[in-house]
Structure 1
């Protein structure tokens, strides 16, 4: 199954085109990095993939859903269903600091239509255990370290058993040892069958855990599977 497919896609940032004629596919269970300088289009590409930005030209589908076009409402009514099949991981965590870890996760389950108190509590326990945080459900986010907060964010992204994880600089604010433990967690999740597309500036991680690399450069997306290139 193809989880991402773009063909001649244009990626916009405000009113500027940052990437043009982007064509690539990512298969179920595949892992790819997304690299490039600040402002090269990485975050805008990810936002387009989770339908936060419309697709102004070209075609695209993610986990079987067509991406909404800026030319009309086509696909926009399917965005909530698309996002239920995705896990989205942000660099700045975006946790709700006025409620416990468990209530952060419960908020997502309620928003995505889960029913049954016991079933929801069980799912929260399952994802926290999976990221190695079985004991923090009752804690507030500010009581956790940066690495623990990022693990909660990953747990949140796993709640709906996504086919695809989109991660925007998930280790950008973490020290090297913590970054490595987070990376190992991504590898485990990927080995269990979830596709991962991770934007990163951390070339050391890429060398340590080599996978396909997509590079945003001068308005183009270069794919190491098609055109091998040096990272530097």
Structure 2
């Protein structure tokens, strides 16, 4: 068991780029184990680019950063899969494989991250589907599920390797309010069990209903509600 007390995410003097353009500069924050943090900002403010840098989809070129004790600067491509095994990524557009069953989608990820024992793979799939309330969906095709159910499968997929943190990019953006609230309740249950969450959202109602620390991308900076006060209005 890992008893390390270091933050799950730590950024110091980081610059976030999209292609050659500077999107965010002088980014400094930590996320501790088990913390729930919202990431907000208007469209184009840098939220997705920041998340992509944290899960090593974009390179960290300036500053010092670490996620789950992996140094992001000059992280070799060969090391990225090892980082990804420590984190969970939840996309707004699901990115499920629509020619495979739910179980086959989840099995694909487990095999890609080094699982080989078929009985253990089957057991882990059953565990995560039960966790998200869809244990009866293993043999269904994604198109047979509602949008909310598909998002629960995406969350189950992100939980497969027991990540220390979930990075969620607008996970309720395509869902109606009642379904979005159910997804939020699921995130809170996951967080209460010890998994840190960084959730990018435009959903002002969810932040109001379930207040937590907020990081706000604005004018090329990342503001932190833990160290400075700023206003949050609908639309940010």
Find the counterpart in structure 2 of residue 36 from structure 1.
Answer: 41
Aligned position for 1:16 = 21
- Distance, in Å, in 2 between the alignment partners of 1:230 and 1:30 is 21
Q: Does 1:49 align with 2:23?
A: no
2:66 is aligned, of 55, 61, 67, to 61
Measured in 2, the distance between the counterparts of 1:56 and 1:122 equals: 40
2:203 paired residue number = 202
For structure 2, the 5+ residue unaligned runs are none
**Would you say 1:7 and 2:7 are equivalent positions?**
no
Task: Give distance in 1, aligned partners of 2:138 and 2:73.
Answer: 36
The reply to whether residue 170 of structure 1 matches residue 171 of structure 2 is yes
TM-score by length of 1: 0.97
Question: Secondary structure at 2:161's aligned position in 1?
Answer: coil
Partners of 2:161 and 2:72 in 1: CA distance:
20
CA distance in 2 between partners of 1:155 and 1:39 (Å): 29
CA distance in 1, matches of 2:207, 2:179: 15
Gaps of 5+ in 1: none
Q: Give, in angstroms, the shift of residue 75 of structure 1.
A: 4.1
How far apart, in 2, do the equivalents of 1:129 and 1:199 lie?
A: 25
Residue in structure 1 matched with residue 159 of structure 2 by the alignment: 158
What are the equivalent positions in structure 2 for 1:73-84 lying under 5 Å apart? 74-84=75-85
d(CA) in 2 for partners of 1:54, 1:116: 34
Residues 68 and 76, structure 1, Cα contact 8 Å, conserved in 2? no
Alpha-carbon separation, structure 1, partners of 2:76 and 2:28: 19
Q: Is the 8 A contact 1:51 1:68 kept in 2?
A: no
Normalising by structure 2, we get a TM-score of: 0.95
Worse-matched range after superposition: 77-86 or 138-147: 77-86
* Pair 1:25-2:26 in alignment: no
Q: Does the 8 Å CA contact 2:170/2:201 hold for their aligned counterparts?
A: yes
Deviation at 1:76, TM superposition (A): 3.5
Asked if structure 2 preserves the Cα contact closer than 8 Å seen for 1:106 and 1:120, the reply is yes
Contact 1:171 1:179 in 2 (8 A): yes
Structure 1 residue 68: Cα displacement = 3.5
Conservation of the 8 A alpha-carbon contact between 1:89 and 1:170: yes
The answer to whether the Cα contact below 8 Å between 1:67 and 1:76 also exists between their aligned partners in 2 is no
Q: Is the Cα contact below 8 Å between 1:66 and 1:75 reproduced in 2? A: no
1:201 shift after superposition: 0.2
Deviation at 1:13, TM superposition (A): 1.0
Aligned length: 228
